[in-house]
Amino acid sequence: MASTLERPATPPRLSATSRLRLAAAVGAGQLAATLSRIAGKGSGVSVRGQVMTRIDPDALTKLLQGRRIAAVSGTNGKTTTTHLLAAAVRAGLGPRDADRVVTNADGANLHYGIASALSQSPRADIAILETDERVVADIVRLGRPEVLVLLNFSRDQLDRNHEIKKLARSWRDALAAAGDDGPVVVANAEEPLVVWAAKAAKHVIWIDTASTWQEDAIMCPECGAILLRRNPHPETGDPGDWDCPACWMSEPIAVIRVENGQIVDRHGVAHDPQLQVPGGFNVGNAACALAAAEQLGVGVTDALAGMRTVTSPAGRFATTHFGTTSARLLLAKNPAGWHEALPLLQSDTVVLAIDAVAADGRDLSWMWDVNYEQLAGKKVIATGPRAQDLAVRLAYAEVECTVVPDLATALTDRGEHVDVLSTYTPFQKLRKLGGLA
């Protein structure tokens, strides 16, 4: 399929007063962002959006208008999937039209971050937006996205999102309210909560991502019954298709699926994605991005070529140096993320960094659902403000570790290559220490 990325229809023009107010908001936000960077307080992305929306509360709504929008959400993988989709769309456009795309590439995915990103590319007519789970309903309502990618639902930051079905219900209600004006949804068929929410959409493209994590998919979101698994494959780790014995809920038949590390498209043709980001879970993310790109008008060949250019989205999987230490940085924020990332730790020495401030989630009980036993035999260094908590969990897993609370000390001048797996806050600090941010 060739790429045919049409421009959107011309939106209704804003009044002169409305345009002036938005322009003033954008200018003030830009000044705030600049001052934030000069003061060493951060990139200024979030404060730009905060100032803008304080001056013009309708700034986000205005900035969303007149664009073809694809939104990506889910507990895990949304940053990487957004990068993959944006790269696919740029490849479909070609180098001369690549500036038609705007995306929040730094991962600022709440209202402020999205508004901030859009304000920097007012002429871009295609927006690929990473969207926090709590923001999906507003983006559907305010932006009328053309495509909505729903990846997964897992326990994450339990003090903030302690009831993930409430989030799923907000997705479901927003899609139902949008009706025929709502987005085409690209949805992970292996996730019961995603299926339950996506069923309200006008049209759904189901994806089988070949995920092996099922601990957050035990009960039926419709009736509460325990889900059954059909045809599991213990040797491959495939948990099998899920089915509710008490109601209509059952795993949908996927249009696009992942098999043996390849993406099988809607015509049954297998494609080797040849991604530069590791892990089977990223092949699943690429399958979702491919379906969304096709929906926007990008051909399979162009889409895959674009996705192969993605190397380290927002620092994930990047390699940097701390003195004589070469370190590859991986991010995992919850049990599902750690489950997927731990097998990628190939170095003899691994560093696990952990904290429990607001951005990480203050509840660390999730550590007891992670199979740290697979690290036996490796030299493990626990670091970060909550390293002692992690050391206790590792002790129960019979994994020996050295506790070095200071991040820089844990990594600097070890004279070897190490893989580093970190929760969100230490990950951002490591990016800065390693010169990546």
Contacts of 107 (CB under 8 A, 6+ apart): 79, 113, 130, 314
The ranges assigned to domains in the chain are: 16-313, 318-433
Q: Which CATH superfamily is domain 16-313 in?
A: Mur-like, catalytic domain (3.40.1190.10)
Q: pLDDT (tens digit, 9 = 90+) per residue, 224-270?
A: 999 999 887 766 667 789 999 999 999 999 999 999 999 999 999 99
Q: pLDDT (tens digit, 9 = 90+) per residue, 141-175?
A: 999 999 999 999 887 655 554 578 889 999 999 99
pLDDT at 157: 53
Write out the binding residues for Zn(2+). Answer: 220, 223, 244, 247
pTM check: above 0.85: yes
Q: Phi-psi bin for 98: left (phi > 0), alpha (psi -120 to 50), beta?
A: alpha
pLDDT at 309: 98
Is 173 considered catalytic here? no
CATH fold of 318-433? Protein-Tyrosine Phosphatase; Chain A (3.90.190)
The Cβ-side half-sphere exposure at 275, using a 13 Å CA radius, reads 30
User: Interior CA angle at 279 toward 276 and 283, to 5°?
Assistant: 75
Contacts of 274 (CB under 8 A, 6+ apart): 304, 308
Contacts of 219 (CB under 8 A, 6+ apart): 225, 226, 227
241-to-135, 196, 265 alpha-carbon distances in Å: 30, 15, 19
Q: Three-state DSSP class for 125?
A: coil
CA 75 to chain CA centroid, nearest Å: 7
pLDDT at 43: 86
CB 119 within 8 A of CB 26: yes
The Cβ-side half-sphere exposure at 228, using a 13 Å CA radius, reads 10
Answer yes or no: is pLDDT of 55 > 60: yes
Q: Phi-psi bin for 323: left (phi > 0), alpha (psi -120 to 50), beta?
A: left
Write out the binding residues. Answer: 220, 223, 244, 247
Determine which one of 58, 97, 363, 369 is catalytic: 363
**What six digits make up the tokens of 402?**
């050295």
Q: pLDDT (tens digit, 9 = 90+) per residue, 85-116?
A: 999 999 999 999 999 999 998 889 999 999 99
Answer yes or no: is pLDDT of 218 > 60: yes
